[in-house]
Amino acid sequence: MAILVTGGAGFIGANFVLDWVAQTDEKIINLDKLTYAGNLQTLASLEGDPQHVFVQGDINDGALLGQLLTEHQPRAVINFAAESHVDRSIHGPEDFIQTNIVGTFRLLEAVRGYWKGLPEALRESFRLLHVSTDEVYGSLEAQAPAFTEQHAYAPNSPYSASKAASDHLVRSYHHTYGLPVLTTNCSNNYGPFHFPEKLIPLVIVNALAGKALPIYGDGQQIRDWLYVKDHCSAIRRVLEAGQVGEVYNVGGWNEKPNLEIVERICGLLDELQPRADGNPYHNQINFVADRPGHDRRYAIDARKLERELGWKPSETFETGIRKTVEWYLANQWWVQGVQSGSYRDWVARQYGGQGE
């Protein structure tokens, strides 16, 4: 038996692949385009392991998808592949439309063709799991209840709009063609191998380099944080026992304002690797211009997943963020590897002199 994942060289996909190989004997085929966000160094520990088959390619390439499906006959496909950074979607939405919308469509078409041709028993048990985000639900008022699966879609950025479109396509392939799909909508992840363009790894990396810690606007925007390994366990559980055609929200019940997150990281670094001059990392905080259209608050109600499938996160924010800071301190080689020319170009473009 085998499963096929797309985007398995990115942050969540690679964590999923590493956990899969550690916890199962099942083969995992990993199709990834290796954009700036994809990184084979993250998967270096799997080199030479026949359980993991890496293929560099694009989910827009229907012929390649068809060939991989025919060759490996997976019992499930998990779609992690996406352009994932909101700020990049504001600077240049085109790639988001191409990968998140058109790419998901091409994947659905290839999977539908493959699934139709399977013998009945395999057709029954086959699953396509689409990994999506809480951002499709838009922004919450301060006192509003957390997003349930029934919340109306109201995406506000080109990124979230492209993910919303992909979710709708996935839904339509179930209702129209009977394709056995599952969708997960997860809150903000953090943990090992997180690309340092996103808030938590950016702050850790900048703090250690003596650079400014950029906080957009007033820093009171709220995100609901989940340790990446808990997201991976939720995906495994939904794949194993989720009801076909259903949507599951995934979250950690960890709503926190951005400024509190940054202060927490500064405090951990003060403890684990104090600055040479004895000053607190807090002094590096720098309030910068806000993100256009910045969503104020996300919060996930993950009770359906707990009630129906018995899933709960195993990390609290306190345990997860400590593990994360410790991981970055111990894995500077990985950070240096991803800080290539294209990373430096992005930082210069997004933060100008303010991020230095």
The contact set with ligand NAD (CB under 6 A) reads 6-7, 9-13, 32-35, 37-38, 58-60, 80-84, 99, 103, 131, 133, 163, 186, 188-189, 195
109 is catalytic: no
Q: Is the dihedral of CA 115, 118, 122, 123 positive or negative?
A: positive
Q: Give the active site residue among 137, 159, 227, 351.
A: 159
By the rule CB under 6 A, 187 interacts with ligand DAU: yes
In the complex, minimum distance from the CB of residue 155 to ligand DAU, in angstroms, rounded to a whole number: 10
Contact present, 114 and 66 (Cβ < 8 Å): yes
By the rule CB under 6 A, 231 interacts with ligand DAU: no
Q: Taking CB under 6 A as the criterion, which residues in 315-344 touch ligand DAU?
A: none
In the complex, minimum distance from the CB of residue 199 to ligand DAU, in angstroms, rounded to a whole number: 4
159 is catalytic: yes
By the rule CB under 6 A, 104 interacts with ligand DAU: no
- In sequence order, what are the residues at sequence separation of 6 or more whose Cβ sits closer than 8 angstroms to the Cβ of residue 258? 199, 215, 216, 219, 220, 221, 222, 223
Q: Which is nearer to ligand NAD, 189 or 254 (CB)?
A: 189
In the complex, minimum distance from the CB of residue 291 to ligand DAU, in angstroms, rounded to a whole number: 6
216 binds, among ligand DAU, ligand NAD, none (CB under 5 to 8 A by kind): ligand DAU
Give the binding-site size for ligand DAU (rule: CB under 6 A): 19
Q: Which of 7, 17, 78, 134 binds ligand DAU (CB under 6 A)?
A: 134
In the complex, minimum distance from the CB of residue 157 to ligand NAD, in angstroms, rounded to a whole number: 12
- In sequence order, what are the residues at sequence separation of 6 or more whose Cβ sits closer than 8 angstroms to the Cβ of residue 71? none
By the rule CB under 6 A, 156 interacts with ligand DAU: no
In whole angstroms, give the CA distance from residue 175 to residue 180.
9
Q: Is the dihedral of CA 230, 260, 335, 333 positive or negative?
A: negative
By the rule CB under 6 A, 35 interacts with ligand DAU: no
Q: Which of 135, 167, 301, 315 binds ligand DAU (CB under 6 A)?
A: 135
Closest residue by Cα to residue 9 from 63, 64, 46: 46
Q: Give the active site residue among 135, 167, 224, 301.
A: 135
In the complex, minimum distance from the CB of residue 9 to ligand NAD, in angstroms, rounded to a whole number: 4
Please provide the DSSP assignment of 186-217 as one string: E-EEESTT--TTSHHHHHHHHHHTT--EEEET
On the CB side of 157, CA atoms within 13 Å amount to 25
What's the Cα-to-Cα distance from 354 to each of 164, 174, 185, 343, rounded to whole Å? 32, 47, 33, 16
Q: Which is nearer to ligand NAD, 103 or 355 (CB)?
A: 103
In whole angstroms, give the CA distance from residue 134 to residue 167.
11
Determine the length of the chain: 356
Spacing of C-alpha 60 from chain mean position: 19
In whole angstroms, give the CA distance from residue 210 to residue 164.
38
Q: Give the active site residue among 134, 224, 230, 255.
A: 134
134 is catalytic: yes
Q: Which of 28, 69, 205, 215 binds ligand DAU (CB under 6 A)?
A: 215
Residues marked active site are found at: 134-135, 159
Residues that bind ligand DAU (CB under 6 A): 84-86, 133-135, 187-188, 198-199, 202, 214-216, 221, 223, 258, 291, 298
